[in-house]
Amino acid sequence: GAVVSQHPSWVICKSGTSVKIECRSLDFQATTMFWYRQFPKKSLMLMATSNEGSKATYEQGVEKDKFLINHASLTLSTLTVTSAHPEDSSFYICSARDPAGQTGDTQYFGPGTRLTVL
Amino acid sequence: SQQGEEDPQALSIQEGENATMNCSYKTSINNLQWYRQNSGRGLVHLILIRSNEREKHSGRLRVTLDTSKKSSSLLITASRAADTASYFCATTLLVFGQGTRLTINP
């Protein structure tokens, strides 16, 4: 199946710094990617939909100035957590749909990035 | 909330037994998907069932869908220790249920 990668897989940063997480579709082009946040032993919460070449669509309650999303190419979306605080510590997961795949509705998920803000 | 709900939240069974997990949702759907997540890892797509399908099989997995009850079930037959993971259902609106943590005891 299609492969989605994330980098870094984990990151530890100091409070107040910004962290960038990359999400790449390795063998297909994804016009739309999705960013999720997951707390321990909880479900995934959709944060935003990243659209190639246009602004991201944020879910209610997600601060767009806090979580900057850039989808500059058909294979790369980035999530930047700005001025990170300990409460931003979480597991961030991206996903992408392969529209040309056997099942166009199937989402392929990245392995996730664990962010710890000290 | 549009969030789906899995039932049970946690399930522990012996290797070789069958495991059944249920998912309920609130909105109309085009399809419903089941995913697996190992601890601290990303999600792996297991199976997609469309709204006009009632049952679907993939290896040891069997998924049913009842759109009138807005519910789906995932059955894993002849469970293995490697099946230990969390299982989530998700609707077309990318809304995930809370998940079922499945533990298979050797």
Does residue B40 come out as left (phi exceeding 0), alpha (psi in the -120 to 50 range) or beta? left
pLDDT digits (tens, 9 = 90+) for B61-75: 999 999 999 999 999
Nearest-by-Cβ selection for A111 from B41, B92, B96: B41
pLDDT digits (tens, 9 = 90+) for A102-114: 555 667 889 999 9
pLDDT digits (tens, 9 = 90+) for A22-51: 999 998 888 889 999 998 878 888 999 988
Cβ B94–A34 below 8 Å, yes or no?
yes
**A87: phi then psi, degrees, rounded to nearest 5:** -70, -10
Nearest-by-Cβ selection for A43 from B30, B45, B97: B97
B72 CB near a chain A CB, below 8 Å?
A: no
Cβ A77 vs Cβ A53: under 8 Å: no
